Structure 1
Amino acid sequence: MKQKNFLVTIAIVLATLITGCAKDDFQETAGLCPVVVTTNPTDAAVNVPLNQVITVTFNEEMNPSTINSSSFIVNGNATITGTLTYSGVTATFTPTVNLTTNTTYSVRITTAVKDLRGNALQEDYIFTFSTGATLQPLVIATNPTRNETGVVLNIVVGATFNMPMDAATINTTTFTLKEGTNTITGIVTYSGNEAFFTPNVNLTANTVYTATITTGAENTANVPLGTDYTWNFTTGTIVAPTVILTDPANNASGVALNKVVTATFDMAMDPLTISATTFTLKQGANTVVGTVSYSGNMASFTPANPLLENAVFTATITTGAKNPAGDSIATDYVWTFSTINSSISPNLGSAAQFGAFGGNAGITNQGLNTVINGSIATTAASTLVTGFHDATAIYTETPLNVGRVTGAIFTAPPMPGTATSFAIATQALSDANAAYLSISPASMPGGTDPGAGELGGLTLAPGVYKSASGTFNISNGNLTLDAQGDPNAVWVFQTASGLTVGIAGPTGAKSVVLINGALPKNVFWYVGSTATINGAGGGTMVGTIIANSGVTISTAGNAAQTVLNGRALSLVASVTMVNTTINVPQ
């Protein structure tokens, strides 16, 4: 082995003396010949891209001045021009124009190429490669489609190619949109195989537009479209959305302080256009802080804090609110409403003196411990008042049914009812009915339902509360009313059907508790049907109950005293009670 290595070394030395360098396939040492070790494309490569950059890598650092158009020659059907650069051990040739399809190219690196010691290639290095057929990009789909009509005004125009494109060639020069000769300004983007033109503003209704992708659009091999791709489309008619309903309604009064303001449109809207910018609420010049949401066709403005009482508010939906097609409402939609004045209670008129009013059906007491600290009345005959007496007369009392009225009893004849007492009762019924209407949802809109019909366990600030289901219950605990230090604070509860306080059983009674200055005279219950107060007996109810179809307080056989600090006024049916104390507010 030593003898063989010695002979190889002697051969290299002799070659160096004769030629100036020697070839060694295994190592690079001073005096060895430069050689080409790799090329790109490789020798005999096929289907080479037309934008191919040709590189040649040597086994050592070369003299850049020897690498030029005379020593690095590319031939196809003719000599190819291009730019030569050299870095490290690699020479790079970039053709001036793309290569030609289906063409065989040869690259010759001549012996004029030398290394830094002046050693030259020992023979010309030649390699060949072939390009493939042209894969020309095509537009295969557009949005809108060619000649499409009724196109929405906020359309993003798109074109899909049959292959990946060079994103740098997809721009506002190669992708244009025109209306006649007028160029539409916009932003061009590219993703996947799709190009998008987004106009800066919505297009015009009932107008023909022309979109064009020019031959400047190229694929990643720098192959352009064969011809400009052009298509037309026509926009549709503007269908402006409209606000068809607001809550509160325009010019509504007595609106609750915790009101969520809503506007309902006649069509679906673009949620992104329903915001604190397009839906505002002001009290005078002051902007109300709140959050805006959108669901279904309804936009909602939820104030961050309760509204000011006895104040006028202005709500506005601006033309920035748009449907999904980009159509705006025609003009700003503006409406006003005023909030409840919590220092003014509903006017009961002559009905204010009555602790119980039995419509035209009478009043019944069962028990020995019923006391009405006030007056009672009915437009029915005196015989329909049973179990009561006042200072002047007894109305069908029995040893088991005795009820004391500290005020007076007013009925129709016969005696002790008189024409005069009937006239007083008739006027009181009229005033009670007027008060009933004044606290109705029609007169005081915007009531909320914080407990979904269940008031038990809640603590409520002054305001208007309306049952969404049509009934209110106080069954999960007591209801607490917090005046927050305002003795004039008013609560109005509205239920289209029934009101039920308490549950069955000896411990089922529930109460209304007043705190921080709340007063019974400022609590009102609008009941569309009947009110049942602590049917199991006991508990303390608060407020003026005005029910259309009757009030029942406790039930027969209950000894526990039930207290109503307020009034039980029925418009058309009777009021019945068992061992009940009613304290008429002053």
Structure 2
Amino acid sequence: MAIPPGNFAVNLSSSNAAGGTTTGSGAFLIGTSVKVVAAANAGYSFVNWTENGNPVSASSTYQFTITGNRNLVANYKAIIPIGTSVINLGTAGDFAILTKSGISTTGTTSVTGNIGVSPASATAITGFGLIMDTNGQSSHTPIVTGKVYASDYAVPTPANMTTAVSNMETAFTTANGLVTPAPIVNLYAGDVSGRILTPGLYKWSTGVLISNAGVTLTGGPNDTWVFQIAQDLTVNNSAKITLLGGAQAKNIFWVVSGQATLGTNTDFSGIILSKTLISLNTGAKVTGRLLAQTAVTLNASTVIQP
């Protein structure tokens, strides 16, 4: 844009093209009162105006007197309502770890929450040193703060486990099929290492990598992240998922059509809904849930149900 002599430029942009639009850009004489307006698209809300990364106004209508060139960015965040209206885990939400074919552990593992398998039997839960409860409906072990369930335990456990697994599969299908708000597609070509991600729906036709640089999720306590990953989720050794602004692990969904591999000493947050294997290497910690349609393998790992 050519700027006439004695004028200054107001340049506007949006942090997310799908999030909304802006009006009010142009060339203005010094001392002119300028009004810029940000309009969020359906499924998004306005956050603030920033300049050079610094917030300058929290109002979608920002009025100022121009004294120099301005480069303003309108920031939007996706609105995904939390709870059953988005991803209902059903009775799968009663488990820290739930699988169809098995759960195995080596080393000193710690799980806070229930674990269970179905249609696999209790013999598919290995390394836990299970002790059958007197009612035959569940078992326990010193390394699980909760109950252990399997399809071959006493009634009503088999029916309950069938329902929980069905709910897990439905949750995966629902989460993987979300299209609202408009997804952010193939962001950073699947390598989100060192990035800051705001709430929203993200979709990749590839795998997703988180290197030891980690990734930061910033948003409020009622904000939701849904990550639709068509291939594998790979979290490298010592990577950390950092939560800022009150973001909560229970509102983060990693929907993985391949397998999820968490490297040594990773610090991971969120619910993994995996079509296949979830593997935790030595010292990996998860604040969330591991819900796999095949197996979960642990190696001196920690899982804490949020």
Residue 22 of structure 2 corresponds to which residue in structure 1? 289
For residues 226-270 of structure 1, give each alpha carbon's deviation from its aligned partner in whole angstroms, at most 9, with x where no partner exists.
Answer: xxxxxxxxxxxxxxxxxxxxxxxxxxxxxxx94639xxxxxxxxx
- 1:510 equivalent to 2:232? Answer no
**Contact 1:547–1:569 (CA under 8 A) maintained in structure 2:** yes
Question: Counterparts of 2:285 and 2:150 in 1: how far apart (Å)?
Answer: 24
For 1:308 and 1:577, locate their aligned partners in 2 and report how far apart those are by CA, in whole Å.
42
Q: Describe the shift of the 1:509–1:349 C-alpha distance in structure 2 as closer, same or farther (beyond 3 A).
A: same
The structural deviation recorded for 1:539 is: 1.9
CA distance in 2, matches of 1:566, 1:259: 31
Q: C-alpha distance in 1, partners of 2:195/2:285?
A: 20
Q: Separation in 2 of the partners of 1:515 and 1:392?
A: 41
> What are the within-5 Å matches in structure 2 for residues 117-266 of structure 1?
258=16, 260=18
Partner of 2:115: 376
Question: Could you tell me whether the CA contact under 8 Å between 1:259 and 1:448 is conserved in 2?
Answer: no
Q: 1:419 to 1:259 in 2, by over 3 A?
A: farther
Structure index of larger Rg: 1
**Structure 2 residue matching 1:438: 3-state secondary structure:** helix
SS at match of 1:346: coil
What root-mean-square deviation, in Å, do the aligned CA atoms of Structure 1 and Structure 2 show? 2.7
CA displacement at 1:403 relative to structure 2: 6.6
Report the TM-score when normalising by structure 1. 0.38
Confirm whether residue 435 of structure 1 aligns to residue 162 of structure 2: no
Going from structure 1 to structure 2, the CA distance change for 1:289 and 1:381 (only over 3 Å counts) comes to: same
- CA shift for structure 1 position 441: 4.0
- Taking the aligned partners of 2:22 and 2:121, their CA distance within structure 1 comes to 57
Alignment match, 1:578:
299
Q: CA shift at 1:449, angstroms?
A: 3.1
Alpha-carbon distance in structure 2 between the residues aligned to 1:549 and 1:466: 18
Tell me the amino acid that sits aligned with residue 489 of structure 1: D
Contact 2:212/2:240 (8 A) holds in 1: no
For structure 1, the 5+ residue unaligned runs are 1-256, 262-280, 282-287, 291-302, 312-338, 394-401, 503-507
Candidates 289, 296, 302, aligned match of 1:567: 289
Corresponding residue SS for 1:538: coil
1:425 CA drift (Å) = 1.4
Q: Deviations over 1:406-439 (max 9, x none)?
A: 11111122xxx23422222111111111111121
Closer/same/farther in 2, CA of residues 549 and 475 from structure 1, 3 Å limit:
same
Residues 305-360 of structure 1: CA deviation (Å, up to 9, x unaligned): 7646478xxxxxxxxxxxxxxxxxxxxxxxxxxx643444521110112111121x
Counterparts of 2:296 and 2:142, CA distance in 1: 13
Give the aligned partner of residue 227 of structure 2: 493
**In the alignment, is the contact (CA less than 8 A) between 1:441 and 1:447 conserved in 2?**
no
Q: Is the 8 A contact 1:411 1:418 kept in 2?
A: no
- The residue identity in structure 2 corresponding to 1:418 is A
Q: CA deviation at 1:562?
A: 1.5
Determine which structure has greater relative contact order: mean sequence separation of CA pairs < 8 Å that are 6+ residues apart, divided by chain length.
2
In structure 2, C-alpha distance between the alignment counterparts of 1:424 and 1:583, rounded to whole Å: 22
Are residues 378 and 388 of structure 1, via their aligned partners in 2, closer, same or farther at CA, if it must alter by over 3 Å? same
Give the structure with the larger strand fraction.
2
In structure 2, C-alpha distance between the alignment counterparts of 1:406 and 1:305, rounded to whole Å: 49
Counterpart for residue 362 of structure 1 = 102
Q: Which residue does 1:553 correspond to in 2? A: 280
* Residues 517/442 of structure 1: CA separation in 2 closer, same or farther (3 Å cut): closer
Q: Who is 1:199 aligned against?
A: none
SS of the counterpart of 2:190? Answer: coil
Shift of 1:509: 1.9
**Percent identity between the two aligned chains:** 29
Task: From the superposition, tell whether residues 403 and 547 of structure 1 become closer, same or farther in structure 2 (CA, over 3 Å).
Answer: farther
Q: Compared with structure 1, are the counterparts of its residues 419 and 543 closer, same or farther at alpha carbon in structure 2 (3 Å cutoff)?
A: same
Cα deviation, 1:35-59, whole Å, max 9, x if unaligned, reads: xxxxxxxxxxxxxxxxxxxxxxxxx
Tell me the secondary structure at the aligned position of residue 451 of structure 1. helix
Between 452-461 and 434-443, report the one with greater CA deviation.
434-443
Partner of 2:253: 524
How far residue 304 of structure 1 moved from its aligned partner, in angstroms, is: 6.8
When residues 517 and 566 of structure 1 are mapped into structure 2, their CA distance, relative to the original with a 3 A threshold, is: same
- 2:204 — aligned with what? 467
- C-alpha separation in 2, matches of 1:364 and 1:472: 25
Task: Find the aligned partners of 1:426 and 1:259 in 2 and give their Cα distance.
Answer: 43
Matched, 1:341 2:74: no
- The size of the alignment, in residue pairs, is 237
Amino acid at match of 1:362: G
Distance 1:524 1:410 in 2: 24
Looking at structure 1, the residues matched to 198 and 150 of structure 2 have their Cα atoms a distance apart, in angstroms, of: 38
CA distance in 1, matches of 2:244, 2:183: 24
1:543 aligns with 2:283: no
TM-score, scaled to structure 2:
0.70
Measured against aligned partners, the alpha-carbon deviations of 1:371-398 in whole angstroms (never above 9, x if no partner) come to 11001111101111111256745xxxxx
- What letter is aligned with 2:89? L
Equivalent-residue separation in structure 1 for 2:196 and 2:285 (angstroms):
20
The structure 2 residue matched to 1:411, chosen from 135, 147, 150, is: 150
The answer as to whether partners of 1:390 and 1:407 remain within 8 angstroms in 2 is no
Provide the rounded CA distance (Å) in 2 between the counterparts of 1:372 and 1:259. 42
Quick one: distance in 2 between partners of 1:455 and 1:365? Answer: 29
